[in-house]
A and B are shown apart, each in its own frame.
Chain A
Amino acid sequence: MKTVGFLFSVVFLFSLEVFSATTIQWWQFWTDPSIKPTITEMVAEFEEANPDIEVKLTDLTWANGHEKIVIAFASGTGPDVVELGSDWIAQFAANGHLADITEYIVDDSAEFQGWGMATYQEKVYAKPWILGTRVLFANRDLLVRAGYDSIWVPITWNELKQAAFKVHRLGPDIYGWGSNTAEKHRLYKKYLPFFWSHGAKIFSDDGKYCLLTTEKAIEALRFYKELHDSCGYVADQRGIEDAFLDGKIGFIISGDWLLKRIELENRRINLASTLIPGLRYPGTSFLGGEFLAVNEASEHKEAAVKLINFITTPENQVRFCKANRSANPSSIKAQKDPYFSSNIHLQTFIKQIQSARHPPVNPDWVYIEDAIETAVEDALFGSGLVAEPLRQARIKVDKLKSR
């Protein structure tokens, strides 16, 4: 009798183990009331479709989310699935914190954009979810007042410069150009589109040489500085957008969040959006985005990948973009959804992403970014020189490479 009881207990415990759900942790940044319910719904649907997997959702904030992820990974308590900004992937991957998911993405690799940002040393460490780029926004009313046709937008640097100058001359509280102040993680993103559009590169193709002091890089910074000095309204990104929406600025570079603001705040502005101007049309914009990665230390990698694949399906991406007013799903199928083609501004973003570039995938990118940003800051707000700050930046980057 005792033996039967013992066997029964063993079978019972074993069945508990077999039939209990696998719990995976997902850390993500979307806490805004407009999008959080969609995230929660998607998770609920995933759990319903996969009764053996339970998802525990944790919200992060942009203010300290990066720090939390770093500390969690360093202490071995990281989540199974984590949302990462494109700039962070190389840093985590190089230090062995992200799982190589190359084998899981073979089937659908052609269906998504943005793999370049998730690939480090030929291995894929994350799946692109929602991409992000910047376009040029213009206040059409100010352009018309400055003498331009009601459908005109600038497509070259010279056109942009002339139009910005003309708008700037309209009145004492009107500015031609929205120019970012020395804001960390923001300022360099405004310079790089001009840098790339002019054909400059951060590194040589073989990655051996830093090319921050080429004539093209210097000319791009000189052009950006000219806009800043001659007709810039200087503020942080939020301040620039406020002034733009108040009708004080002719041109700003911004992301899809501006469209969301206009809609949610019911702002009345005669808005034009166009691709980043370049010496040749179209110019190159900045490319970044949100990625989903699996923790190398996760004991449930397959379940984690399942969740990632579910969240990033074209249908779920369209759903996400509609709720969040995002413009750039990573899924190519999602990009063709009528939701994007029905809105002229969303179309601009979809087009811009075809000519957008991401920074080098480099574990030291945070330092390289800092060096470039310091150079731009010095040119705009410090010494006022252009070539010397870029030379200093190159020295810093060369030092990093020689470590």
Chain B
Amino acid sequence: MTRSKSIAFVLALPWLSTLVVFWLLPLVISFLMGFTDFRLLVKEFQWIGLANYRALLSDRDFLQALKNTFIFVFGTIPVTTVLSLGMALLVNRQFKGRGIFRATYFLPSITSMVVIALIFTNLYGRGGYVALLANLVGLTPPENGFLYDSSTALFSIMAMDVWMSVGYYMLIFLAGLKSIPDELYEAAQVQGAGTIRQFFSITLPLLKPVALFILVINSIKSFQVFVEIFVMTKGKFDTATAVYFIYETGLTTGFKFGYASAAAYVLFVIIGIFSALWFLLLRRRQALW
């Protein structure tokens, strides 16, 4: 190793050591733990092979949590992506007060999720603002509030999540829009392409890398949804998601670390598959749109 490489290695050592101790090592340990019946309070544990994974397949609570997670992911990602793209297109135009709009849309993204969740818990509550709005438009809100009803609780949390994330993804789309050269639009205009044609033939194809980035990070984030559930419903009223299930199994009732680790790895694999899927879909030569 040359002297400069040695110095670089030494300089990287503090970061590398934390990576190994606090990230890689727990990752390996929890993977191994998934094959044991390890419970935090019990001093002895056994290697039980795939028993945890088999049990998960027939665990109603886990399957319900996975179902809720998928509803959350497939319900929020398309809406968030389309809305954030639409808003990015709007605030990309030249108009007075554009900066204020951008900042306002982005504000929820930099606010603590706990704070937002607490505010929305009140908004969704009995006699809360959302119930009043529902009454105004002739809808009947759930009697005990939106979060205390299985038919509305998860969708209410999803709506809040979309509201919160849309500004952040708007900003990323906006950066993507800024990187598209104006010459392309000018050339298209000269050749008689209208706004819609320009959008589908120039804007959307050139935003593909940005869209991929957004889809991947939004998928990962949505599969890991936890804080909203923890603060707003504690997983009740059919809102328990996969990460909430892992938390409950591993860190509250019974402290079943082995079982919770297995569930975590199931989620890990699902997230991996989805991320790979997005890459494959968007790397195809034929345009997705």
Question: Which residues of A pack against B, CB within 8 Å?
Answer: 66-67, 70-71, 73-74, 91-92, 95-97, 181-184, 234-235, 239, 366-367, 370, 377, 381-382
Contact = CB atoms under 8 A, between A and B. Distances in A.
A377 B239 CA distance: 14
B42 interface: yes
Contacts of B125: 239
Given A70-B41, A234-B143, A381-B150, 13 more contacts: A67-B251, A70-B40, A96-B43, A181-B148, A182-B237, A183-B236, A234-B148, A239-B125, A366-B254, A370-B253, A377-B236, A381-B149, A381-B237
Contacts of B126: 234-235
Contact of B150 (A66, A96, A239, A382): A382
A172 to B, nearest CB: 12
22 contacts: A66-B252, A67-B251, A70-B41, A71-B40, A73-B41, A74-B40, A92-B41, A95-B41, A181-B236, A182-B148, A183-B234, A234-B143, A235-B126, A235-B144, A239-B125, A366-B254, A367-B253, A377-B236, A381-B148, A381-B149, A381-B150, A382-B150
Interface of B is mostly: loop
A334 to B, nearest CB: 33
B53 interface: no
B41 A97 contact: yes
Nearest to B235: A184
Given A235-B126, A370-B253, A184 B144 contact: no
Contacts of A234: 126, 143-144, 148
Given A95-B41, A381-B237, A70 B255 contact: yes
A217 to B, nearest CB: 22
Given A67-B251, A235-B126, A381-B150, A181 B41 contact: no
B41 A367 contact: no
Interface string B13-54: 000000000000000000000000000111100000000000
Nearest to A71: B40
Interface residues of B, number: 19
Contacts of A239: 125
Contacts of A182: 148, 236-237
9 nearest A-B residue pairs (beta carbon): A182-B236, A234-B144, A95-B41, A74-B40, A366-B253, A181-B148, A70-B40, A95-B42, A70-B255
Interface of B: 40-43, 125-126, 143-144, 148-150, 234, 236-237, 251-255
Contacts of B255: 70, 74
A381 to B, nearest CB: 7
Contacts of A382: 150
Nearest to B143: A234
Nearest to B233: A182
A235 B237 CA distance: 13
B254 A367 contact: yes
Nearest to A234: B144
A367 B61 CA distance: 13
B46 to A, nearest CB: 13
Contacts of B148: 181-182, 234-235, 381
Contacts of B42: 95
B274 to A, nearest CB: 30
A184 B40 contact: no
Contacts of A370: 253
Contacts of B143: 234
A233 B150 CA distance: 17
Contacts of B253: 366-367, 370
A214 B202 CA distance: 70
A401 to B, nearest CB: 15
A200 to B, nearest CB: 24
Contacts of B144: 181, 234-235
Contacts of B252: 66-67
Contacts of A366: 253-254
B236 A74 contact: no
A316 B253 CA distance: 33
A382 B42 CA distance: 34
Given A366-B253, A367-B253, A74 B237 contact: no
Contacts of B236: 181-184, 377
A370 B254 CA distance: 11
A99 to B, nearest CB: 16
